[in-house]
Amino acid sequence: MFKEFKEFAMRGNIVDLAVGVIIGGAFQKIVNSLVNDLIIPVMSIFIGKIDYSSLQFTINNVSIKYGSFITNVINFIIIAFALFLFVRYINKLNKNLENVKIKNMRGLDKINEKINKKFHKKKKKEEPAEPKPEPTTKVCPYCFSEINIKATRCPNCTSVLEEIKEHNEDKKELENA
């Protein structure tokens, strides 16, 4: 069981999540300090109250702490804006990296084309072209089925193939001459 837990805990996405939570907690402390030590005192210059967390009103012995809520909303807005800027910056970096990769790929494609052209030209000069093998089949002009090239009659439609007759007659005339 310990081995399974260790495998689960050491997966890359779990470790990344843990690091994100830890960094998020540290970032939250920084933002809380920013809000409590800088922003709220500056706001108190205009409003006149320094500690917003103590702002509350009571209805039927129930305290509604709207000052603490205002502080938490300010914290959330600052954290959300900071994360927005961070993600925007990361996306811009990724887009720039993709553009660089695309440009590099285009450059590599051009280089590969030049290499291939040179290689194929040399290859054609060095190696003679192989002769094309003679066809072993032909198409019947009547039923359009593929048949052996030596056939004088189509096995599918039983038609007598005229060109073979003519060819055989030409052969006989040459032999007689």
Q: Are the C-beta atoms of residues 108 and 102 closer than 8 Å to each other?
A: no
Residue 16's CATH number = 1.10.1200
The answer for residues whose C-beta is within 8 angstroms of residue 173's C-beta and 6 or more apart is none
Q: Are the C-beta atoms of residues 156 and 147 closer than 8 Å to each other?
A: yes
- Predicted structure pTM score: 0.42
pLDDT category, 146, cuts 50, 70, 90? confident
- 96 with 76, same domain? yes
- Per the DSSP assignment, residues forming a β-bridge with 12 are none
Q: Are the C-beta atoms of residues 26 and 70 closer than 8 Å to each other?
A: no
What is the domain count for the chain? 2
What is the overall mean pLDDT for the chain? 76
- Tokens, residue 35: 């809000």
pLDDT score recorded for residue 173: 62
- 143 with 108, same domain? no
Q: How many other C-beta atoms are found inside a 10 Å radius of the C-beta of residue 157? A: 13
- 115 with 73, same domain? yes
- For residue 51, is it within any domain? yes
- For residue 70, is it within any domain? yes
Over residues 47-106, the pLDDT tens digits come to 776 666 777 888 888 888 888 888 788 878 887 888 788 888 888 888 888 877 776 666
- 110 with 155, same domain? no
- 37 with 69, same domain? yes
pLDDT score recorded for residue 170: 56
Domain end marker among 126, 147, 166: 126
Q: 20 pLDDT exceeds 80?
A: yes
Q: Among 25-29, 89-93, 161-165, 170-174, name the one with the lowest average pLDDT.
A: 170-174
Give residue 30's domain range: 2-126
- 88 with 10, same domain? yes
pLDDT score recorded for residue 160: 85
What is Dmax (Cα atoms) for the chain? 131
- For residue 131, is it within any domain? no
**Separation CA 50–CA 77 (nearest Å):** 20
- 166 with 92, same domain? no
**Separation CA 25–CA 31 (nearest Å):** 10
